[in-house]
Amino acid sequence: MEVHTGEFVCLLGQSGCGKSTFLRLLMGLETPAEGEILLDSRPIKGASLDRGVVFQDYSLFPWMTAGENIRLALQQRFPEWNKKKLREVAMERIREVGLDDSVYQKLPKELSGGMNQRCAIAQAFGIEPSILLMDEPFGALDAVTRARLQDLVLDLWAKQKPQKTVFFVTHDVDEAILLANRIIVLGQSPSNIIYECFIPVDKRPTRDTQFESPYVLQLRNELICQINKDVAARVSQMA
């Protein structure tokens, strides 16, 4: 595949099809057994602050406050900033994700799952990476919190210029359609691309239209059909 700057790419597929492994390759935490992954025409070699990551399990250090977690990431990205600047920007990032200033002084265990994930998003966007990697970041959240954070990520992505390139792993078809302007469906192991689509700007759904638009309904059916056909083929091979 070839992905361009500013695309919001959702990697969709059943559990075990390689979505998270592919993301780890993009992170630089794994190396490919064959082939190569190029970033700006250069092979990826190890982790980099040019790639921000949001995991499903929040990934905040439990012995540090939410503000300290965000400040630590900023310090690594902007070592020339003094303590005052780091604190001010960390506080701004907390506000950007809709949290109260008091969250800065709270430990992760004092926050709800949704609040922890907002902090993780603030941390990832705060270091201003050109690429954002999100590995099922809302999978453990309730439906209402999940919807709010989906809207938050879309809003942050749309506002920042230049727009970040986002790789978002999910197994939720509706989430992929709502967030992405490009969806890539991976088949069962050994993983491969079994379906791919681009969603035009004028066809992108909103939360109000995602269950009413004929285009979206047709796309949802096609995505589910592609995934089910892949599963059926694999089951028949095992029989």
Calculate mean pLDDT across residues 139-147.
Answer: 86
DSSP 8: E
Looking at residue 211, its pLDDT comes to: 87
pLDDT digits (tens, 9 = 90+) for 146-159: 899 999 999 989 88
| 83 CB burial (10 A radius; 0-12, 13-18, 19+) | exposed
Q: What is the pLDDT of residue 239?
A: 62
Residue 176 region, left (φ>0) first, then alpha (ψ -120 to 50), else beta? alpha
- Distances, alpha carbon 207 to alpha carbons 103, 216, 232, in Å: 28, 12, 31
Residue 142 has a pLDDT of 87
pLDDT per residue as tens digits for the range 192-207: 899 999 999 999 998 8
Domains contained in the chain, CATH given: 1-50+132-239 (3.40.50.300), 56-128 (no CATH)
The secondary structure of 85-151 as a DSSP string is: HHHHHHHHHHHHTT--GGGGG--GGGS-HHHHHHHHHHHHHHT--SEEEEESTTTTS-HHHHHHHHH
**Which tens digits make up the pLDDT trace of 102-133?**
999 999 999 998 999 999 999 999 899 999 99
Which alpha helices (H) appear in 130-239, and where do they start and end?
Answer: 143-159, 173-179, 214-238
Over residues 60-88, the mean pLDDT reads: 95
